[in-house]
Amino acid sequence: MALARGDVLLVVMPAIATAVRTHRFVSFVALTFLFTWLAWVPAALLVSAERIVPVSLLVLAGGFGPFLAAIVVAAATGDLRPWLRRVVSPRAPPFVWVAAAVLPPVLFGATLAFTVALGWTFESAALGPATLFAALLVSSFIRGGLEEPGWRGFGLPVLQRRLGAFRASLVIGVVWAAWHAPLFAMPGSSQAGTSFAFYLVSVVGISVVTTWLYNESGGRVLVPVAFHSVWNATSVFLSTGISGDGLLPAEAALAAAAWLFVGVLVYRYGAARLSSKPLPTNGLSFAGERTRKAELPREDGPARSLD
């Protein structure tokens, strides 16, 4: 006897949910690239036609790919509600919030020192007013910070339970950099005309730093959101003051500054957790999954007190 449509759904949907749960990270990455590149690839093609409005809208829409992918996978595995509660929770230790706000200007200060050492020129007079930075901060929250519920809020807690925090950060950093690939073919984007090799090295280093902030906050996604927003705003604001020709691309200086700090983090906390706290779950269920011993004790005790 043929199965009715409802019976087919009862058989197929649990099978899909099981497959997604088994391959959560791969499912998240595949959907992230699908959602984003469906917008960014056409945007890159439209740039040559100088159709500014549709390009801007497509670039904006594509930036929500990681967040949307995380929502879809969390919903498919039955984790959406607890995951969303952790995404919007601001209850992180105060020093982590301070670090998220202060680290970008500190690391970019080191970057400027390396940049000048490489032969570039920095003119502070070329920088815009403080109101410009405030506007950039709002823009960076929408067009950068809101990636973090996907990258750190979903991908990281899934992957680092198997690989440890440092190795998971490397993998996510490579994926994160590759995800931006269409923007390198889009004149006017911050990636256009830059070296992808140095960009990759920089982004992987920043990925490790962001993991430290996320893990040390007890899995509060708003902390990486704040860091990402301040980072992008600081980058765009200071880039207007850099001019000339150096021995290496300016991105090389950023990579050096980021990885120097990564070395400090790994030395201080170790590669397994990159923090003083247990690996956070961010509301995701890992029952029955193989995990590393480094994650134990689980996310009870100190991390629960932040809820």
**What confidence tens digit (pLDDT) does each residue in 38-57 have?**
999 998 888 766 666 678 88
Taken as a whole, the chain contains a residue count of 307
Burial per residue of 7-31, b for 16 or more beta-carbon CB atoms within 10 angstroms, e otherwise: eeeeeeeeeeeeebbeebbebbbeb
DSSP codes joined into one string, 219-231:
S-THHHHHHHHHH
* Residue 182, burial from CB neighbour count under 10 angstroms (0-12, 13-18, 19+): buried
Higher pLDDT, 157 or 287: 157
Asked if 218 contacts 306 with a C-beta cutoff of 8 angstroms, the reply is yes
Cis omega (within 30 of 0) on the bond before 54?
A: no
pLDDT above 70 covers a percentage of the chain that reads: 84
CB under 8 Å to 197, separation ≥6 — which residues? Answer: none
Backbone angles phi, psi at 298, to 5 degrees: -70, -175
Q: Model confidence over 161-186: pLDDT tens digits?
A: 999 999 999 999 999 999 999 999 88
Predicted confidence at residue 285, as pLDDT, reads 87
Asked if 82 contacts 219 with a C-beta cutoff of 8 angstroms, the reply is no
DSSP codes joined into one string, 58-103:
HHHHHTTHHHHHHHHHHHHTT-HHHHHHHHT-----HHHHHHHHHH
CB count within 10 Å of CB 242 equals 18
**For strand 121-122 and strand 242-243, is the pairing parallel, antiparallel, or unpaired?**
antiparallel
> What is the distance between the alpha carbons of residues 223 and 211, in angstroms, rounded to a whole number?
10
| Residue 122 β-bridge partners | 242
Is the model's pLDDT at 290 over the cut of 80? no
Angle at 18 between CA 13 and CA 24, to 5 degrees: 120
CA-closest candidate to residue 158, choices 27, 14, 19: 27
Backbone angles phi, psi at 270, to 5 degrees: 90, 160
Q: How confident is the model at residue 298 (pLDDT cuts 50, 70, 90)?
A: very low
Whole-prediction pTM = 0.87
Is the model's pLDDT at 17 over the cut of 90? no
Angle at 225 between CA 222 and CA 230, to 5 degrees: 130
Predicted confidence at residue 306, as pLDDT, reads 33
Is the model's pLDDT at 11 over the cut of 50? no
